[in-house]
Amino acid sequence: MTTQTYDYIIVGAGSAGCVLANRLSADSNNKVLLLETGGSDNSIFIKMPTALSIPMNTEKYAWQFNTEPEPFLDNRKMHCPRGKVLGGSSSINGMVYVRGHAKDFDEWQQHGAEGWDYQSCLPYFKKAEAFYLGGDQYRGEKGPLGVNNGNEMANPLYKAFIKAGQQAGYAQTGDYNAAQQEGFGPMHMTVKDGVRSSASREYLDPVKSRSNLTIVTGALAEKVLLEGKKASGVAYRIKGAKSQAYASKEVILSAGPIGSPHLLQLSGIGDSATLTNAGIEVNHHLPGVGQNLQDHLEFYFQYKCKQPITLNGKLGLISKALIGARWLFNRSGLGATNHFESCAFIRSKAGVEWPDIQYHFLPAAIRYDGKSAFAGHGFQVHVGHNKPKSRGAVTIKSADPTVAPNIQFNYLQHPDDIEGFRACVRLTREIIEQTAFDDYRDGEIQPGKEIQSDEQIDAFVRQAVESAYHPSCSCKMGEDEMAVVNSHTQVHGIEGLRVVDSSIFPTIPNGNLNAPTIMVAEKAADHILGQPLLNASQAKIAMTSQWQTVQRSSEI
């Protein structure tokens, strides 16, 4: 058995782990070890944005988790892939860049995450970002993470979607990641120079040669080593060979919303009854570990298209070859975008203070995983109710670290979530029926015009919804009895141990999770290093003053 000592050990080279490896090793006095179960991200399918469905569904690059039968989704088992490669889920995701609404982070502070309000988080979003239109009080321009709009909405369907939203009485927003999230506008993606801008590419690749940074791939973490109530290191294995590494300062878990709570439980940290049932010795009773699990659901609203302008006409072998060749030679064209180039954020009903429904528009009628497409031309909008009240759990079931934990989201358990998806169906239909789509819309493919009543909508949703792949909140930050880490990301009751990834979100934001995960890691790095935090922003946010009485407003 090999043993070595470092200052910091980071478990997981995903969105958060890559950020931490970069920031912590910037001081040459810090000796840093980064452990990752997966391997290299040097694959054309990871680098080419349009190939996004491939790495997510490939065993080599992603843990292919499935949930337990979900009782409120007709007992369906839901796919829950997580990154298993350098860059983690930032190397397999859809590259959509959404920070979330400002109020989402104020909500974190209200849940006990002191210092994680919007004004405190905004400087770290900016620090991480290189926005293609330049920086201002909301956007960063000198950070590692490239953010752009793909092909500038060259397909007319993108702008038709925005126009339809305006015709339906909603506001337009030029930048949903700035002052005003609510409304219809262009969508942003983590793509730089036509290539996926993953955490590995932007944070890890530039610093791999640092002598004080050791990156070990193919390493399955088995448990955190404890000396009483202090974390001293990590036990891991590579191809069956056992190793141990010790940390003189801290162990940091960045294994994600499934991996981090599972690793804590493997280490005897968690609910004592849960650990005992799995045959694990209890080292520290912490009942919130694995609890509070949240995710976004979405379904596809699909329509036939009158004009042959959709991506459904680009799915043949010759078209794909031409797209690939253009991308290989100059990193441009349809290969350089994730194809989600317009979007919207709206409120599901009057009385909802900030948006809880999100749209991604796609000029194609095709499954997200690419496995099936409409035979003719079509377009779709992905829609989901993004502030769920249902809660689930990640629960260990074996002391064997190779045995996946039970994953149960309890999707649609809460009646408000069901009501939210009814609103998704009815509001989306109204939007697509606007005159902006008259030249394109040629009949509803899914759900189908016959789906009208609450009962019909509910049945359709139960069968049609899929995970938006945003699991989070399973090691929540706060000070209550179910909190796992404090506001400095330190595990309650264990010295020298932190969790830094999307598992520590107290509540799920209204949007995709890669941007806030990277932000959390940027801010956590300053906490870990004991550096002064960036000054809180004074930037204002724009919201409708009539939210209590109206569901939509054309002026915000």
Of 16, 34, 98, 93, the residue nearest 62 (C-alpha): 93
Residue 548 in any domain: the answer is no
The residue among 146 and 371 whose pLDDT is bigger is 146
CA 73 → CA 247, 408, 445, 450, distances in Å?
44, 12, 22, 21
User: Cβ distance 275 to 261 under 8 Å?
Assistant: no
Host H or E run for residue 19:
helix 15-25
Give me the CATH number covering residue 317.
3.30.410.40
User: 67: Cβ–Cβ under 8 A, 6 or more apart, which residues?
Assistant: 77, 78, 80, 407, 408, 409
Joined together, the tokens standing for residue 79 give 């796919």
**Residue type at 18?**
C
Q: What is the pLDDT of residue 372?
A: 62
* Co-location of 370 and 264 in the same domain: no
In the chain, the largest separation of any two C-alpha atoms, in whole Å, equals 69
444-482 as b/e: b if 16+ CB within 10 A: bbbbeeebeeeeebbebbbebbbbbbbbbbbbbbbeeee
CA 508 → CA 123, 297, 469, 502, distances in Å?
20, 12, 12, 9
Residue 56 in any domain: the answer is yes
Residue 51 in any domain: the answer is yes
Q: In whole angstroms, what is the distance from residue 122 CA to residue 116 CA?
A: 10
Residue 417 in any domain: the answer is yes
Residue 539 in any domain: the answer is no
Catalytically annotated residue among 188, 296, 360, 470? 470
Q: What is the pLDDT of residue 335?
A: 94
User: 234: Cβ–Cβ under 8 A, 6 or more apart, which residues?
Assistant: 9, 11, 35, 221, 222, 223, 224, 225, 244, 245, 247, 251
CA angle 368, 79, 319 (to 5 degrees): 25
Give 95-105 pLDDT, tens digit per residue: 999 999 999 99
Active site annotation includes 470: yes
Give me the CATH number covering residue 85.
3.50.50.60
User: 372: Cβ–Cβ under 8 A, 6 or more apart, which residues?
Assistant: 366
Host H or E run for residue 47:
helix 44-47
Give 298-340 pLDDT, tens digit per residue: 999 999 999 999 989 888 899 898 999 999 999 999 999 999 9
With a cut of 90, say whether residue 367 has pLDDT above it: no
* Co-location of 331 and 458 in the same domain: yes
Give 16-74 pLDDT, tens digit per residue: 999 999 999 999 999 999 999 999 999 999 999 999 999 999 999 999 999 999 999 99
User: Cβ distance 39 to 281 under 8 Å?
Assistant: no
Residue 311 in any domain: the answer is yes
> What is the number of structural domains in the chain?
2
With a cut of 80, say whether residue 3 has pLDDT above it: no
Q: How many CB atoms lie within 10 A of CB 350?
A: 12
Q: What is the pLDDT of residue 315?
A: 85
Q: What is the pTM of this model?
A: 0.97
* Co-location of 367 and 502 in the same domain: no
pLDDT mean over 508-529: 98
* Co-location of 256 and 283 in the same domain: yes
Q: What is the pLDDT of residue 369?
A: 63
* Co-location of 235 and 326 in the same domain: no
* Co-location of 98 and 26 in the same domain: yes
* Co-location of 219 and 258 in the same domain: yes
Give 333-357 pLDDT, tens digit per residue: 999 999 999 999 999 999 999 999 9
Joined together, the tokens standing for residue 381 give 């909008």
* Co-location of 176 and 262 in the same domain: no
Positive/negative CA dihedral, 447, 448, 449, 452: negative
CA angle 336, 338, 339 (to 5 degrees): 100
* Co-location of 362 and 318 in the same domain: yes
Q: What is the pLDDT of residue 371?
A: 61
Q: What is the pLDDT of residue 376?
A: 87
SS3 at position 263 = helix
* Co-location of 361 and 419 in the same domain: yes
Give 171-225 pLDDT, tens digit per residue: 999 999 999 999 999 999 999 999 999 999 999 999 999 999 999 999 999 999 9
Could you tell me where the beta strands, DSSP code E, fall in 2-116?
2-11, 32-36, 62-66, 79-83
Kindly tell me the burial class for residue 276, based on how many C-beta atoms sit within 10 Å of its own C-beta (0-12, 13-18, 19 or more).
exposed
DSSP code for 206: G
pLDDT mean over 440-459: 96
SS3 string of 358-424? EEEEECCCECCCCCCECCCCEEEEEEEECCCCCCEEEECCCCCCCCCCEEECCCCCCHHHHHHHHHH
**Residue type at 150?**
G
Q: In whole angstroms, what is the distance from residue 71 CA to residue 142 CA?
A: 46
Q: What is the pLDDT of residue 314?
A: 85
Q: In whole angstroms, what is the distance from residue 424 CA to residue 428 CA?
A: 6
Residue 120 in any domain: the answer is no
Residue 450 in any domain: the answer is yes
Looking at every residue in the chain, the average pLDDT score rounds to: 96
**Residue type at 501?**
D
**Which one of 422, 441, 464 terminates a domain?**
464
| Helix residue spans in 195-255 (DSSP H) | 199
Q: What is the pLDDT of residue 242?
A: 95
With a cut of 70, say whether residue 285 has pLDDT above it: yes
pLDDT mean over 132-150: 97
**Residue given tokens 């194609």 in the structure block:** 364
* Co-location of 216 and 325 in the same domain: no
* Co-location of 180 and 41 in the same domain: no
With a cut of 80, say whether residue 370 has pLDDT above it: no
Domain that holds residue 253: 1-115+199-293+395-402+471-529
Of 15, 90, 34, 113, the residue nearest 521 (C-alpha): 15
pLDDT mean over 106-124: 98
**Which one of 464, 486, 502 terminates a domain?**
464
Q: How many CB atoms lie within 10 A of CB 18?
A: 33
